Amino acid sequence: MTDIARDQYTRMFSADGTVLLHPDRPEARYRPVRAVKAFQALIRDKEDTSQVFKIFESLPSGDFMQRVQDLALSERGEFLRRAEPNLPEILDDHATLRRTPKGSLAHAYCDFMEAEGLSAAGLVAEAERLGRPKYPDLVQWFIERSRDTHDLFHVLTGYGRDALGEQCVLLFTHGQSPSQGHLLIGYAGAANIKKLAKGSAAPIFGAVREAHRTGKGAPQLMAQPIRQLLERPLDEVRTALRIPQPEQYRECHRIWQAEGINPYDLLATKPAEPELMAA
């Protein structure tokens, strides 16, 4: 980003006076070698989420600020910030979500989170444990909304929290919000799974490519009114967002089952929850 462009972003404000880019927010530097080393460290220790942050930090997206501006300063963005100022509070209120009709996205989301022992607040806490400084700007809102919709991606796409499912969600996310970090973790992670499942006939790369195409073809989820989506039938939301069934991913699981491979044991430990952002 040029100094002129950065200065322009620090002079843009939302209707409530929130600056688009806080002048104290440091500019991300492109450091591919650091990203590769962080990925190698992540492969060695799947629970070290600090490496995920380093990967995204080291591979900043060239159009990130333009994407933040396009959403945050639009009428839709202004509405979302007023209507849904804190997504984790909405998503963790399962009592309210359970009052929606059976078959809703809300019920499917609660089922998924409860079965996995997850919470939106837990993902926030995991991200904050990294100690990354926060700034009172619209970039912060964009980053946090990206993070807070991560588990909704799992529910809407049908990808589980097994190693392949996480790579598929990352590449779906790249289709929604392009970042080289998503590409590196998604495709390199798929290559590692292929290596670990040596000799398997499962179409691992077919699954991640399918996820990538789906993400590109779907409207941006974080730009949708999440509260309204939660009230609608899950199948209706998937149709509206152009999210088909994950056929290749399910084929991988079917083949692995026949081959006696447990997809949740491929990496020995459960995959880490990344803070989905690209600064």
Q: Could you report the average pLDDT of every consecutive run of 10 residues in the chain (279 residues)?
A: 86 96 91 90 77 84 92 97 96 98 98 96 88 93 94 96 93 91 91 92 98 97 97 98 98 96 71 41
Q: What is the rounded distance in angstroms from the CA atom of residue 175 to the CA atom of residue 155?
A: 17
Would you state the pLDDT for residue 47? 67
> Is residue 279 a part of any domain in this protein?
no
Would you state the pLDDT for residue 43? 81
Q: What is the rounded distance in angstroms from the CA atom of residue 90 to the CA atom of residue 94?
A: 8
Instruction: Please give the residue range of the domain that contains residue 38.
Output: 3-259
C-alpha 188: how far from chain center: 17
> Is residue 125 a part of any domain in this protein?
yes
What is this structure's pTM? 0.87
Q: Is 278 helix (H, G, I), strand (E, B) or coil?
A: coil
Q: In sequence order, what are the beta bridge partners of 54?
A: none
Would you state the pLDDT for residue 24? 96
Would you state the pLDDT for residue 110? 98
> Is residue 269 a part of any domain in this protein?
no
Specify whether the CB–CB gap between 92 and 239 falls below 8 A.
Answer: no
Would you state the pLDDT for residue 84? 96
Residue 235 burial by CB count (10 A; 0-12/13-18/19+): exposed, middle or buried?
A: exposed
Rg (CA), the chain: 19
> Is residue 268 a part of any domain in this protein?
no
> Is residue 274 a part of any domain in this protein?
no
Query: Could you give the number of structural domains in the chain?
Result: 1
Q: What is the rounded distance in angstroms from the CA atom of residue 11 to the CA atom of residue 89?
A: 31
